[in-house]
């Protein structure tokens, strides 16, 4: 590794290693070593933040590809409570839809609509 500093309008550390050249702008009022250590800490923090975002995106993708089932007693977004009948009906439709998808078959709109209407009607008929 070869490290040089260049001072002009701004100060830079020029780092050459394994045929790669990297220029890092140095913070004013600090030694080159202190500035590079601060830069390294900042880069590690950014990498950690990006890793956390990547993990979040991966978990979200899993949720989108994993069937979502209802449980009796669960509250829906509109405040309706899921009954045993609603949960069983919704989950049965979900199993049918996911079974078709798993076999590469196109899911009929009527089946998707039925599941949507079942949820939409939960608030209208709380004892369903």
Does 75 share its domain with 107?
yes
- Alpha carbons 106 and 115: distance in angstroms, whole number: 16
Boundary residue ending a domain (64, 94, 111): 64
Neighbouring CB atoms inside 10 A of 97's CB total 17
Does 85 share its domain with 45?
no
- Does the CA dihedral 42-43-47-48 come out positive or negative? negative
Count: domains in the chain: 2
Does 74 share its domain with 103?
yes
pLDDT per residue, tens digit, the chain (128 aa), is: 999 999 999 999 999 999 999 999 999 999 999 999 999 999 999 999 999 999 999 988 887 888 889 999 999 988 889 999 999 999 999 999 999 988 999 999 999 999 999 988 887 755 54
Does 93 share its domain with 74?
yes
Query: Which residue segment(s) compose the domain that 6 sits in?
Result: 2-64
């Amino acid at each position: 590794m070869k490290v040089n500093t260049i001072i002009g309008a701004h100060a830079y550390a020029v780092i050459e290693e394994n045929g790669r050249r990297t220029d890092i702008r140095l913070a004013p009022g600090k030694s080159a070593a202190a500035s590079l250590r601060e830069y390294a800490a900042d880069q590690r923090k950014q990498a950690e933040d990006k890793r956390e975002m990547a993990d979040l995106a991966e978990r979200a993708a899993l949720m989108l590809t994993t069937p979502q089932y209802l449980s009796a007693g669960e509250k829906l977004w509109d405040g309706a409570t899921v009954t045993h009948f609603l949960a069983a009906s919704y989950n049965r439709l979900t199993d049918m839809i996911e079974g078709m998808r798993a076999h590469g078959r196109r899911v009929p709109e009527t089946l998707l609509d039925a599941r949507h209407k079942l949820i939409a009607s939960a608030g209208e008929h709380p004892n369903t």
